[in-house]
Amino acid sequence: MHGMSPHKENEDMRGTEPREARPSAHSVRQETLIVLVLALGSGLVGIDRFLISTMFPVIAKDLGIGYGAIGTITGALALSWGLAALLMGNLSDRIGRRKVICGALLLFSLLIGASGLAAGLYSLVVVRLFMGIADGAFTPVAISATIEASPRQRQGRNVGIQQMTMTLFGLGLSPMFVSLMLHAVDWRWVFAIFIVPGLLLTVAAWRILPPDRKVQASSDGRSQLWSNWRTVMGYSNIRIIMGIMLCCLTVLVTISALFPSYLLDHLKLEFGAMSMVMSAIGFGASAGTVAMPWLSDRLGRRAVMLLCTAGTACAIVALNQTGPSVALLFAFVFIANFFNNGLMVMAIGPLCALSVPPTLIATASGLIIAAGEFFGGGFAILIAGHFAEQFGIAHLLLIPLGASILAVFLGLAFSERRFFRA
């Protein structure tokens, strides 16, 4: 029933709700606290991933590396992020969410300062590989924990809030923070500031997240792992969402990692102006991360998904035609990331929940993130970095433009039927 109306979908969603008429004050408070602590965790993960982007021009000069090396550093984190998401999402479906989330936060807290110890390209790549493991383990499990803590009619909104801080902190606030801090300290010390907040949040998460339920262990964990992956891949929408996530990560990572160099080297902006334009990525992505999943709760998943794919493509076309106007650059970067990140969060949250049974959400989310990170966040940024060196940074936006157009066609194939197989 490809043509199911959004209203019918929402009726079906309400019809599957438990019969409790109103949630208790305690359950609402618990839901709020869980979403809050997981949102702060996503904020720290976003800082770790994207804090380095604004500093890339400074780091590249200090370490003597070029555009290709920037792509390699960014791709290394994306590949380990994808691998961790693939494995840890499935593991959390079997051992519980709290252990995985708190373990990831603890590892993140202990490792974040290590980026500042890098002496060259290879040491920085190794550090970012390990950081990607911690960050990738947190993301799909936190999304699943948010969905489990939320009634169905608030799942899109709560996942949007929980994921919003990743881009708000990592791409919105951190460029301005970096611009201020680099006047006072060397870039190596900027990373160390976030060690203590990470440890405090680990303790808070352990106290607030519900205890993990005991799960009967499988006699053959590897067999169950492959079985879960095969089952999830049997749902046709998951295969489509994996392709869409690949496109979204190509857009996000290419722009966040190499766009500062595009602004400085091609458009000849000053560093402060570049930082201002880069902050539009975070503010636009944060707004879209909340607005689009929330809108999909009301208008239907597919309609909002198609709006996001078309909006991203149009904004990148406009951005590619824009000269060194800070106001226009800010506006088009904001719009592109508003739609792109709204689609990303829908993909790993509401669209994933529509596509597979609840017991497989973390496994499915991990597969979707892995596909995006391996090919969009990993290989695509490697290609983009070397593409910029070979053909010039002026042509950088052709890579995310092609990815956004592909996402439009993939979105047209998505079905709103729950747990659809084809």
Domain boundaries, the chain: 26-412
Say if residue 167's pLDDT is above 60. yes
Task: Note the pLDDT tens digit of each residue in 293-306.
Answer: 888 888 888 899 99
Q: How many angstroms separate the CA atoms of 351 and 355, rounded? A: 6
| Mean of pLDDT values over 264-275 | 87
Say if residue 119's pLDDT is above 70. no
| Mean of pLDDT values over 220-235 | 68
Say if residue 329's pLDDT is above 90. yes
Read off the DSSP letter of residue 64: T
Amino acid 14: pLDDT:
40
Model confidence at 253, pLDDT cuts 50, 70, 90, reads confident
Top-confidence residue, 11 or 371:
371
| Mean of pLDDT values over 73-77 | 76
Amino acid 419: pLDDT:
57
> From the CB of residue 296, how many other CB atoms can be counted at a distance below 10 Å?
31
Q: Which residues contact 136 (CB under 8 A, 6 or more apart)?
A: 80, 81, 82, 83, 84, 85, 88, 369, 373
Task: Note the pLDDT tens digit of each residue in 40-50.
Answer: 998 888 887 77
- For the range 216-219, what are the long-range contacts, defined as Cβ-Cβ under 8 Å and sequence gap of 24 or more? 217/94, 218/94
Model confidence at 26, pLDDT cuts 50, 70, 90, reads low
Read off the DSSP letter of residue 330: H
Say if residue 54's pLDDT is above 80. no
Q: How many angstroms separate the CA atoms of 206 and 60, rounded? A: 38
Residues 305 and 350 sit within 8 Å (Cβ to Cβ): no
Helix, strand, coil abundance in the chain, percent, nearest 5: 85, 0, 15
Model confidence at 17, pLDDT cuts 50, 70, 90, reads very low
Packing angle between helix 301-320 and helix 271-299, nearest 10 degrees? Answer: 160
| Mean of pLDDT values over 25-35 | 81
Amino acid 116: pLDDT:
67
- Mean of per-residue pLDDT scores for the chain: 80
Residue 249: closest CA among 89, 108, 77:
77
- What is the residue type of 131? M
Read off the DSSP letter of residue 191: G
- What is the residue type of 231? T
Most confident region among 21-30, 321-330, 360-369 by mean pLDDT: 321-330
Indicate the class that CATH gives domain 26-412.
mainly alpha
Q: How many angstroms separate the CA atoms of 93 and 98, rounded? A: 11
Any idea what the Cα angle at residue 285 is, between residues 284 and 287, rounded to 5°?
Answer: 65
Cut 0.85: pTM above it:
no
Say if residue 339's pLDDT is above 60. yes
Helix (H, G, I), strand (E, B) or coil at 287: helix
Residues 80 and 132 sit within 8 Å (Cβ to Cβ): yes
90: exposed, middle or buried (C-beta count within 10 Å: 0-12, 13-18, 19+)? Answer: buried
Any idea what the Cα angle at residue 196 is, between residues 191 and 199, rounded to 5°?
Answer: 115
